Structures are given as C-alpha cells and as structure tokens.
C-alpha cells in the first residue's frame, strides 16, 4: 500500500516490522506474554485506534467483530472490515448490529454471509517470486496443511492408495486424536510419507515436484492459501468442489474439482496432462499480492466515495432473521440456539 503511494498507519504489536507509522499499545503479541490480559489489551488496542479515527480517511479493520462494536459509538471515517472468517455464529450478532457503520470485504465469494452486503472480494495474494515454477509433472500427490478432519488428510490418503500413487504429507498438528486414528496408521514412509511441517525451501520443493496438491476438504474453505502456493509452483490441485475452491481452481485447467473420492481417484491419471504453465499463469493473473492490493484499492475508493454503507435490502434483513443461527460454518461447533434472542 505504501509502495502504491498510500499514507498508511498500522495499529499492531510493537515488534511488527513496518516502515510506515506504527502505533502499538502492546510490545508483543498477547499470546507471548501471559501477564497481558487479552481482553483488556485488545480492547485498549481498539480504543486507541478509534481515539485517533479522525486522523484517517479510511479504516481497514482486519481484527474481526470487536472493533465493530466500537464503531457503533464513534464518529469516524468510512470503516471497511475484511471478514477473515466467522469463528462462530454468535459473532454475526456484532456484524449485523454494525452493518450500518461498516463496509465489508470477503476473502472469497463463497465465504459470504447472506445477511450482509459486501463491497468486494479481496482474495489473499502471494508473491510468486517466492515460489519456483517447475515445468515437469511430479510422481507423487501431496497434502499440505494441518491435521483436522475438515482438511481431509484421510481422504487424501484414501485417494492416493486407491489410485496407486505415493502421497507426501506435510502438516502441523491440530486435532491429535484425528492424527492418531486416521493418519498415523497409514504412514509407512514409502507409499504414505509424513514430513512434519515444511517451510520455505522444503515447501517449495514439496509442492513443485508433486503431481498435484490434494485438497479434499470436508467443509467449505474460506480461502485455500496452499492451493495458490501449489499452482504458483506449476502444480495442479485435486480438490473438493466446495467453498472457495471453484473460484481458485479452473476445473480441467489448473486442477480438478471433485464431488467424491471416487471422482478424485478417476482424475488422478489425468493430472499429468494438465498444463503446468496454466497453473502458474492463473496465480500470476489473480492471486498475487499486487492483485490483492488492486482489489483493496478499488474497495477503499468505493468506501470513500460512498462514505456510509447503503441500507440493507429486505432480503438481507430476512436472511438475518431466519437461518443464521443454524447455518453450518467452517472451523466451529454450532453452539446451542439462544433461548429468546431478538434482533432489530
């Protein structure tokens, strides 16, 4: 943003690396110092931003729902909230309550709540120069991510076994019992190999030399950063047709979108015939940091032009009333319904 000529003030921890103006309430991340009460210091962090709100032409909030409740109270420039994911249905209450004060961006078209209006989709972006393009199709499938049923490591294993292709798994632990029950028993160091977590060069090598990245999630993904990293290396994606994946992967060109394990198995023999250059080109066109900035600049300009979000349509309001509580969401358990909550 600064490179593009914007005057940016960043509100973040004191150890952030930023060459523009940095405003910090706490010196380090709240999870790095047990004496810092996260509720108190995140509230002070937000309070400090809104205290200075009048200094800015626009505020881009990447800090979820809490700042929205402050926006209810403040006179301020346009607020644009990037929704990086709804962590629970309850937080929708904060989004709905503040929808007249904040514009919203989603990180994929799929990850939108029907009760909210969105100004734009601002896909995440990567720097393609950090990923080495590899022109030759590899001979193994790979899985990259964390161990959780939603990420479908077990499906990747099943697909590899049934297709008779080796699988390399690089992942960080999350759900330990899932790993013990559904992953570990299959790891033999040959057909199914587990590499632990991989970063930078090792990640580049794992992705670049693969036949495909398997991304058979069991719940909709908000955005799949690993899929654009794989494609940047020229590696296609064999993935579930849900969530944001149809926006990222061009079916039959940069990978295959599948509705079942059977379908995925049947696509494995076709993977080597995909143009690896097309994968790289897709990322360079749509999912770079520069494209992300383009999208944000467009959204910022619209927010500044409008100043205030337009009132929601009757359809939006209906969507808020009827089904939000029961709507399935990625990465969360649905809590019990509130007993008698009313929303205006």
Identify which of residues 66 and 191 has a Cβ nearer to a copy of itself in the complex: 66
Judged by CB under 8 A, which of 5, 19, 31, 73 binds a copy of itself?
Answer: 73
Other CB atoms within 10 A of residue 183 CB = 20
DSSP output for 63-114:
STTHHHHHHTT---S-EEEEE---SSGGGHHHHHHTTTTEEEEESSSSS--T
Judged by CB under 8 A, which of 69, 124, 218, 266 binds a copy of itself?
Answer: 69
How far is C-alpha 238 from the chain's CA centre?
18
Q: Does 34 bind a copy of itself (CB under 8 A)?
A: yes
Judged by CB under 8 A, which of 16, 21, 28, 270 binds a copy of itself?
Answer: 28
Identify which of residues 85 and 149 has a Cβ nearer to a copy of itself in the complex: 85
Judged by CB under 8 A, which of 11, 65, 178, 223 binds a copy of itself?
Answer: 65
Q: Per CB under 8 A, which region of 1-9, 48-56, 196-204, 245-253 contacts a copy of itself?
A: 48-56
Identify which of residues 70 and 178 has a Cβ nearer to a copy of itself in the complex: 70
Identify which of residues 65 and 194 has a Cβ nearer to a copy of itself in the complex: 65
Nearest to 247 by CA among 277, 224, 266, 270: 224
Judged by CB under 8 A, which of 1, 12, 94, 317 binds a copy of itself?
Answer: 94
DSSP output for 215-263:
E--SS--S--HHHHHHHHTT--EEEESSTTHHHHS-BTTTEEEESSHHH
Q: Cα separations (Å) of 138 from 52, 167, 172, 274?
A: 53, 11, 23, 12
Identify which of residues 37 and 259 has a Cβ nearer to a copy of itself in the complex: 37
Q: Which residue has the tokens 């379908």?
A: 263
Integer-rounded Cα Rg, in Å, for the chain is 22
Q: Per CB under 8 A, which region of 119-127, 160-168, 271-279, 333-341 contacts a copy of itself?
A: 333-341
Smallest gap from Cβ 90 to a copy of itself, in A, equals 4
Q: Does 99 bind a copy of itself (CB under 8 A)?
A: no
Site residues (vs a copy of itself, CB under 8 A): 26-28, 32-37, 39-41, 43-44, 46-51, 53, 65-66, 68-75, 88, 90-91, 93-94, 97-98, 335-342
């Amino acid at each position: 943003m600064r490179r593009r000529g914007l005057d940016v003030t960043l509100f973040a921890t004191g150890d952030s690396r930023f060459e523009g103006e940095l405003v910090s309430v706490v010196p380090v991340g709240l999870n790095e110092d047990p004496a810092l009460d996260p509720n108190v210091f995140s509230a002070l962090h937000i309070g400090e931003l809104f205290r200075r709100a009048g200094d800015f032409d626009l505020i881009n909030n990447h800090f979820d729902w809490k700042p929205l409740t402050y926006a209810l109270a403040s006179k301020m420039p346009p607020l644009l909230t990037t929704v990086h994911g709804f962590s629970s249905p309850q937080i929708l209450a904060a989004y709905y309550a503040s929808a007249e004060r904040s514009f919203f961006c989603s990180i994929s078209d799929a990850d939108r709540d029907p009760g909210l209006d969105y100004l734009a989709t601002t896909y995440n972006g990567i720097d393609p120069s950090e990923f080495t393009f590899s022109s030759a199709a590899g001979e193994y499938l790979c899985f990259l991510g964390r161990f959780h049923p939603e990420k479908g490591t077990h499906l990747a294993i099943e697909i590899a076994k049934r297709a008779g292709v080796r699988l390399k798994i690089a992942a960080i632990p999350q759900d330990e019992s899932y790993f013990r029950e559904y992953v570990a028993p299959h790891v033999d160091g040959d057909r199914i190999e587990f590499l632990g977590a991989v970063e930078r060069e090792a990640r580049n090598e794992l992705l670049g030399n693969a036949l495909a990245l398997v991304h058979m999630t069991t719940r909709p993904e908000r955005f799949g950063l690993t899929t654009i990293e794989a494609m940047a290396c020229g590696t296609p994606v064999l993935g579930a047709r849900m969530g944001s994946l149809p926006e990222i992967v061009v079916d039959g060109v940069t990978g295959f979108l599948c509705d079942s394990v059977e379908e995925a198995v049947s696509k494995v023999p076709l993977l080597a015939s995909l143009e690896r250059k097309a994968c790289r080109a897709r990322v360079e066109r749509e999912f770079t940091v520069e494209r992300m900035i383009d999208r944000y600049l467009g959204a910022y300009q619209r927010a500044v032009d409008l100043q205030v979000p337009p009132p929601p349509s009757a359809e939006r309001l209906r969507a808020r009333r009827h089904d939000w509580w029961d709507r399935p969401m990625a990465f969360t358990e649905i809590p019990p319904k509130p007993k008698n909550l009313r929303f205006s």
